[in-house]
């Protein structure tokens, strides 16, 4: 006699990854979302606008600064206002009213994830959400790191929060974006891989820092998905939601969708057979009270040991991947770390449990590895080798990068010095960067330029020139590399080549003073003061806030017997930098040569106050006072000088010559 089937009173869970036209637990089929077609058209329009923006820059050479939330970091770091900041702030404010609509209707990464999910569903693959409570906080942590931490640090060091610049247009549109290859890989990781392994909207859930800001603003938005009494709890809404929201449960328990993950796609509204859902105003989730005790059944949570394991792997992966080979950007690193955390968790389960299966990833059944499982083991073993190698490369890159950051001021001084001298040796940094160069699987962007710099500072000019040429081939710090090659050519007596490299450096960054200074001082050292003056004049026109360029333009005129013309240049240098001692002394000297001894005395006194142990300046002050007919004042200056350095024979001789043996 057949055993009767037992009936369960437990209601079936409604998955959130069903395709349209598939049955729910109620047995009825779900119609295709009409909102999806409109959203696809809007997202296509967004991409067309992006393409037009890029085309405008390519055709005109200058355009509106990137309309990207990431550009708002310029304000957090340096109080710079740009189009990205204005756009991000506007979207947050609008989200606080209309809900989290931008992600669903305007984000190119959401469009990519939805497209990948659509293709997977067509292939019969239903992405399953990871459902990690700990990793869900990664977007918030990323937002704090990108936008809040720089503000806190600036407050800590008492930096000014006053607006420093308004940059609404730029000629360097792509400066903050990765290249096309890395951009494509970012889309592949943040789109396909995150959806396949972490679930629909996987990148939004576990990586996107901008989504964290929108999710927070969504909690106070009065406009959201709401329900009428016509709802029959059929579950169609949850089945079509690509944002992993349990729509039918939330509207039952709260009368609206309260989850900040809801991106207002309105798929749920369009497929509701009772037309019970609508997008409208009402109470906000932050202060709303539930109609009944909210359901706690939901997706099964991971054990805390698994959560901590995921977090540890995520953190380690992020540290290894971020900046690897100088190209992997922040957001791609977050996506890679999330995917690797999941894959490592699956590898651990594969070792410890007899069955490891999920849609699209069936690895092991009843203790036996399946074909996909064997391929997975081989792939993870190879990836483990790659990961260890990458960790070593990243560690040595960090050593070299840290040392390179410490020589930033030395590099600028070296470029502007007419006769640069080697500094302390940098064996550890050179060894680390050379290991990265020779053992990396790919060239590390910026590595050759750093090697060129360290060799230059160590006096190995031939090696520096070789690495500088390699750096130019890779487009690394081109402006600085041309200057290093200019100095090398000058040291070899190749005058024409040296000038050519300096001019190339100026053409690349005409807004920086170092190349003008290097070329001008080189021409002056060769005795061609007219050529030096021409370079310095071009420099002050292009870089009007450089005290060094104004000083040298004035000095060239003074050497060419144009003292009156040199005065405004020295004065401008002192306006920019009031403690510019050389400019102060030369301005005083020029005034003295013009017979303006009163003006000369004023500037010499300031120079003495700024350098009280400089006996030569005290002597010049005394001479100016004497020329101005103020003998007693000159003697007083010399007495003060002798009180500081009684053994100074020159000062004593000058004092005796005008004191008459007093």
In whole angstroms, give the CA distance from residue 628 to residue 620: 12
pLDDT at 615 over 50: yes
Same domain? For 41 and 148 the reply is yes
**406-458 pLDDT, tens per residue?**
888 888 888 877 566 655 668 889 999 999 999 999 999 999 999 999 999 88
pLDDT at 1 over 60: no
pLDDT at 620 over 70: yes
pLDDT at 507 over 90: yes
Within-domain flag for 294: no
Same domain? For 197 and 58 the reply is yes
Cβ atoms within 10 Å of 353's Cβ, excluding its own: 10
Residue with tokens 């070593």: 392
Which residues, including other chains, have CB under 8 Å from residue 444's CB and lie 6 or more apart? 325, 326, 393, 397, 436, 437
**99-147 pLDDT, tens per residue?**
999 999 999 889 989 888 888 888 888 888 888 999 999 999 999 999 9
**Residue range of the domain that includes 335:** 307-397
* Number of separate domains in the chain: 3
According to DSSP H, which parts of 28-82 are helical? 34-60, 73-78
Same domain? For 328 and 193 the reply is no
**Exposure string over 405-421, b if 16+ CB within 10 A, otherwise e:** eebeeebeebbbeeebe
Q: Which of 370, 397, 424 is the last residue of a domain?
A: 397
Within-domain flag for 321: yes
The confidence band for 228, taking pLDDT boundaries of 50, 70 and 90, is: very high
Within-domain flag for 493: no
Same domain? For 217 and 312 the reply is no
Q: What is the CATH number of the domain that holds 587?
A: 1.25.40.10
| Angular region, 250: left φ>0, alpha ψ -120 to 50, beta rest | alpha
Assess contact for 98 and 173: CB atoms under 8 A.
Answer: no
The confidence band for 9, taking pLDDT boundaries of 50, 70 and 90, is: very low
Assess contact for 515 and 509: CB atoms under 8 A.
Answer: yes
Smallest Cα–Cα separation from 46: which of 119, 122, 139, 114? 114
N- to C-terminal Cα separation, the chain = 137
The dihedral built from the CA positions of residue 126, 131, 134 and 139, taken in this order, carries a sign that is positive
**DSSP letter, residue 192:** I
In whole angstroms, give the CA distance from residue 239 to residue 244: 9
Within-domain flag for 423: no
DSSP string, 598-644: HHHHHHHHHHHHH-TT-HHHHHHHHHHHHHTT-HHHHHHHHHHHHHH
Within-domain flag for 550: no
pLDDT value, residue 518: 93
Q: Which of 187, 208, 223 is the last residue of a domain?
A: 223
**73-99 pLDDT, tens per residue?**
999 999 999 999 999 999 999 999 999
In whole angstroms, give the CA distance from residue 617 to residue 614: 6
Within-domain flag for 94: yes
Within-domain flag for 437: no
Q: Which of 365, 397, 429 is the last residue of a domain?
A: 397
Within-domain flag for 133: yes
Give the rounded distance of the alpha carbon of 548 from its chain centre: 30
**DSSP letter, residue 579:** T
């Amino acid at each position: 006699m057949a055993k009767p089937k037992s009936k369960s009173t437990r209601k079936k869970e409604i998955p959130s990854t069903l395709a349209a036209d598939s049955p729910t637990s109620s047995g009825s089929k779900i119609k295709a979302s009409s909102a999806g077609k409109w959203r696809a058209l809007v997202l296509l329009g967004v991409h067309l606008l992006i393409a037009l923006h890029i085309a405008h820059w390519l055709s005109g050479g200058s355009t509106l600064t990137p309309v990207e939330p990431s550009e708002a970091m310029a304000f957090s770091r340096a109080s710079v206002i740009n189009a990205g900041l204005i756009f991000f702030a506007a979207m947050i404010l609008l989200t606080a009213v209309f809900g989290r609509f931008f992600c669903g209707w305007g984000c190119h990464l959401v469009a990519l994830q939805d497209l990948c999910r659509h293709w997977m569903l067509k292939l019969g693959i239903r992405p399953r959400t990871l459902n990690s409570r700990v990793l869900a906080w990664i977007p918030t942590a990323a937002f704090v790191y990108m936008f809040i931490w720089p503000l806190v640090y600036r407050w800590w060091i008492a930096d000014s929060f006053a607006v420093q610049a308004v940059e609404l247009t730029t000629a360097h549109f792509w400066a903050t974006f990765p290249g096309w290859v890395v951009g494509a890989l970012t889309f592949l990781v943040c789109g396909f891989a995150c959806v396949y392994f972490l679930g629909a909207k996987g990148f939004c859930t576990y990586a996107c820092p901008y989504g964290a800001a929108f999710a927070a603003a969504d909690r106070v938005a009065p406009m959201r998905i709401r329900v009428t009494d016509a709802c029959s709890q059929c579950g169609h809404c949850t089945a079509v939601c690509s944002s992993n929201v349990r729509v039918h449960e939330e509207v039952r328990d709260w009368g609206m969708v309260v989850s900040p993950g809801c991106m207002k796609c309105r798929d749920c509204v369009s497929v509701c057979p009772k037309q019970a859902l609508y997008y409208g105003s009402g109470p906000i989730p932050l202060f709303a009270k539930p109609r009944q005790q909210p359901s706690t059944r939901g997706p099964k949570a991971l054990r805390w040991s698994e959560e901590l394991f995921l977090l540890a792997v995520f953190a380690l992966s992020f540290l290894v991947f971020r900046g690897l080979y100088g190209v992997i950007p922040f957001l791609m690193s977050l996506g890679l770390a999330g995917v690797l955390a999941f894959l490592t968790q699956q590898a651990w389960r594969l070792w410890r449990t007899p069955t490891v299966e999920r849609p699209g990833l069936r690895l092991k059944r009843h203790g036996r590895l399946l074909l996909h499982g064997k391929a997975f083991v081989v792939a993870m073993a190879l990836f483990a080798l790659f990961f260890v190698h990458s960790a070593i490369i990243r560690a040595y890159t960090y050593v070299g990068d840290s040392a390179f950051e410490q020589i930033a001021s030395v590099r600028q001084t070296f470029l502007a010095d007419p006769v640069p001298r080697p500094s302390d040796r940098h064996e550890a940094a050179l060894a680390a960067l050379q290991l990265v160069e020779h053992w990396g699987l790919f060239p590390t962007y910026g590595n050759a330029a750093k090697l060129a710099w360290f060799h230059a500072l160590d006096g190995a000019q031939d090696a520096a020139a070789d690495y500088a040429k390699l750096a130019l081939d890779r487009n690394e710090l081109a402006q600085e590399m041309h200057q290093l090659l200019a100095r090398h050519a000058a040291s070899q007596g190749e005058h024409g080549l040296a000038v050519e490299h300096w001019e190339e450096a100026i053409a690349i960054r005409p807004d920086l003073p170092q190349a003008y200074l290097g070329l001008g001082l080189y021409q002056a050292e060769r005795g061609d003061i007219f050529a030096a003056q021409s370079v310095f004049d071009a420099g002050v026109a292009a870089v009007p806030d450089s005290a060094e360029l104004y000083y040298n333009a004035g000095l060239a005129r003074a050497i060419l017997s144009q003292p009156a013309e040199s005065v405004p240049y020295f004065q401008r240098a002192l306006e920019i930098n009031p403690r510019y001692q050389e400019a102060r002394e030369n301005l005083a000297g020029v005034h003295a040569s013009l017979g303006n001894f009163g003006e000369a005395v004023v500037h010499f006194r300031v120079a003495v106050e700024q350098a009280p142990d400089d006996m030569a300046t005290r002597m010049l002050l005394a001479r100016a006072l004497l020329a101005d007919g103020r003998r007693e004042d000159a003697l007083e200056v010399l007495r003060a000088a002798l009180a500081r350095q009684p053994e100074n024979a020159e000062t004593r001789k000058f004092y005796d010559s005008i004191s008459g043996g007093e």
